[in-house]
Structure 1
């Protein structure tokens, strides 16, 4: 299967496993580490994942990967929760985590409600309106960030 992205193949094997367990794929990374590769999978569900969820996904996926033999290189499989600073990858994530503190980085300078240009926005997610993420910034003003301008976003842990 030359030219086929191993991460895509793994993702195709993973979705039925996660669907059957009521879990969602947050992020999948396949990266070179030392002499081998690291296949890192982050899973979640509304009430949060536990060690048993991670272990079961790891077992099920390992069997599928052995059967399909789609990764030719040596690799280590890690399955875990996304943690307290969970990445926000989909518009639905911003809806789901409305009311939570988040850090959003944009691909270009955008202005907040007061006209201040910036690329980093820290504030409380207020929701999504027509493809625009609305955040109440820590310092007060609101920011409206078009979905296609978001480079990276994640939840922030509040003490």
Structure 2
């Protein structure tokens, strides 16, 4: 079985199990790092994420992932995606439309590779950010990373 369909199946099952407790699976990462293989699960709820929510999510998915013969990991991490969360999916863009974001691009857009402003539009081929009154259209294929960038 190819790795990507397996990951999609794991993602779907974890999302379904968490949803039974009112917890959204925000993202899932399989990473190999210096200290071992890590399965990272990022969760969210309408009221935010606290320690009790992380504990509940951990207990909800641990037996499932521990019993998958094709999933080999050393550490399971469950956390909130944070206030500067990465925006990857269309549903993320819809959810955070009108919020301040930071976008880094692989090539310059209007002479820069880093743009900070308000996310004002999302289209299949591009997003639009309002920065200091100017609308900047960023082609999606140039986006390296996009994350919330709240004023703190």
* Equivalent residue for 2:118, pick from 101, 124, 131: 124
Cα deviation, residue 58, structure 1? 0.8
Q: Which moved more, 1:88-97 or 1:8-17?
A: 8-17
Residues 18 and 60 in structure 2, CA contact (< 8 A), matched pair in contact too: no
Which one has the largest radius of gyration?
1
Report the TM-score, using the length of structure 1 for normalisation.
0.79
Distance 2:13 2:126 in 1: 32
Distance 1:131 1:22, change over 3 A: farther
Match of 2:108 in 1: 109
Match of 2:133 in 1: 140
Instruction: Please state whether the residue corresponding to 1:21 is helix, strand or coil.
Output: coil
Matches within 5 A, 1:8-157: 8=8, 10-73=10-73, 75-111=74-110, 117-129=111-123, 131-137=125-131, 139-157=132-150
Match of 2:151 in 1: 158
Root-mean-square deviation (CA), in Å?
Answer: 2.3
Instruction: Please state whether the residue corresponding to 1:42 is helix, strand or coil.
Output: strand
Distance 1:43 1:149 in 2: 27
Residues 9 and 70 in structure 1, CA contact (< 8 A), matched pair in contact too: no
> How many residues are aligned here?
151
Q: Which moved more, 1:41-50 or 1:83-92?
A: 41-50
Instruction: Please state whether the residue corresponding to 2:86 is helix, strand or coil.
Output: coil
Distance 1:136 1:72 in 2: 44
Distance 1:134 1:46 in 2: 26
Q: Which moved more, 1:76-85 or 1:60-69?
A: 60-69
Task: List gaps (5 residues or longer) in structure 2.
Answer: none
Residues 39 and 77 in structure 1, CA contact (< 8 A), matched pair in contact too: yes
Distance 2:46 2:54 in 1: 15
